[in-house]
Amino acid sequence: MFPAAKRTGTAGATPRTEEHVMPIVTIQQGPRDIELKRELVARVTDAFVDSLNIPAEAVQVWIHEVPTDSWGVAGKLTADK
């Protein structure tokens, strides 16, 4: 499980207590540097916290990295571009 991101938006908002549905966000992408993934997870988490008014701990972000030789665009492997 990824560590919860630090919440940066909507200062002083009270999280909803009637429901804490755990959103699970799956991101499919090519391989990226770990620092870029940290920033991505933090920003995605903040978006859910701000829009759904839920605690950051309720948000899970899964990154599925696909190597460039395992997907294609316009009939060609991305590794061949």
What's the CA gap between 42 and 12, in Å, rounded?
19
Give the CA-trace dihedral at 23, 34, 39, 50, to 10 degrees: 10
pTM: 0.69
Tokens of 68: 């460039």
Instruction: Give the number of other CB atoms < 10 A from CB of residue 13.
Output: 12
pLDDT digits (tens, 9 = 90+) for 3-49: 444 544 545 555 555 466 789 999 999 999 999 999 999 999 999 99
Residue 3 has a pLDDT of 46
pLDDT digits (tens, 9 = 90+) for 41-77: 999 999 999 999 999 999 999 999 999 999 999 999 9
List of domains in the chain: 24-80 (3.30.429.10)
